[in-house]
Amino acid sequence: MSARRVPRRAILAVALAMGAAGCGVIPQAPDPIPSDFVPSPSAEPGDGPGALSPDGFTAAQRMTVRVRSVGCSGTIVLSTGTGFALDEHTLVTNRHVIANSKRITITTYDGRTINVTAATTSTAADIAVITTEESLGNAFARTAEADPEVGDLVTVVGYPNGGRLTTSSGVVLGATADPLGGAVDSVLATSATVKVGSSGSPALDEDGRVIGVVYAKNISDQSFIVPVSTLNALLEEPALFVPESACAADADASSNASAFLP
């Protein structure tokens, strides 16, 4: 069974409707779907930049970054996720990784910390696009033109638990409705193991091309990815992204609060 490519017009129509208002089967999937999906970034800072080494890293690892977010609550809450570079100043991560953030910083594989200048999110899928002030480096993602098929190998590169850069491998299990109910169309399930903090990791095929973005897992250690067809369609329609809002409490406290606080 092949995962179905998402028509760009379908995503555009549904996403615009959602903004105005505010298939397949996974083999051996639990029934009913477990309720403990992990759509949240890690609350653990993990190892610091000193744990990262530039020696021997692949292009896929060099393009993958750790995303740190300081939340909007009364106390400072540091959470971490993963992202990957599209070009020198643009990266992709999950919407939930940066939601309700006061400040976002990026750490590269070689330990550089980079400030964020802007962040936008989409309502059509758990996807966010971040722009940075400094260069992310010289290794950038190549996205596949079509979704992978069932049984295709997949490799996930990310920062589980906010720690060291790691990789895990598995196979594509199939297309399914988004278990979290937030995507316009179907998502893909894989057997690659991910952990809290892996959210936003690139899922790669055997040629190193991005075939999806990790955003959730279940108790059976199945991971779920936004398929590349959805990602490509969103990236082709910048109007589907909106600026990430400032912290509600901060906005209420000051009429001069900006839409995004880097």
> Phi and psi at residue 96, in whole multiples of 5°?
-70, -20
pLDDT classification of 104: cutoffs 50, 70, 90: very high
- Cα-Cα-Cα-Cα dihedral sign, residues 214, 215, 220, 222: negative
**Tens digits of residue pLDDT in 36-75:** 444 445 544 444 333 334 446 788 999 999 999 888 765 5
**Tens digits of residue pLDDT in 200-256:** 999 999 999 999 999 999 988 899 999 999 999 999 998 889 998 666 544 433 322
Q: What is the pTM of this model?
A: 0.75
Q: Could you give the dihedral angle defined by the CA atoms of residues 193, 197, 200 and 206, in that order, rounded to the nearest 10 degrees?
A: -30
Given the DSSP bridges, would you call strands 64-71 and 78-87 parallel, antiparallel or unpaired?
A: antiparallel
Taking phi over 0 as left and psi of -120 to 50 as alpha, with beta for the rest, 81 belongs to beta
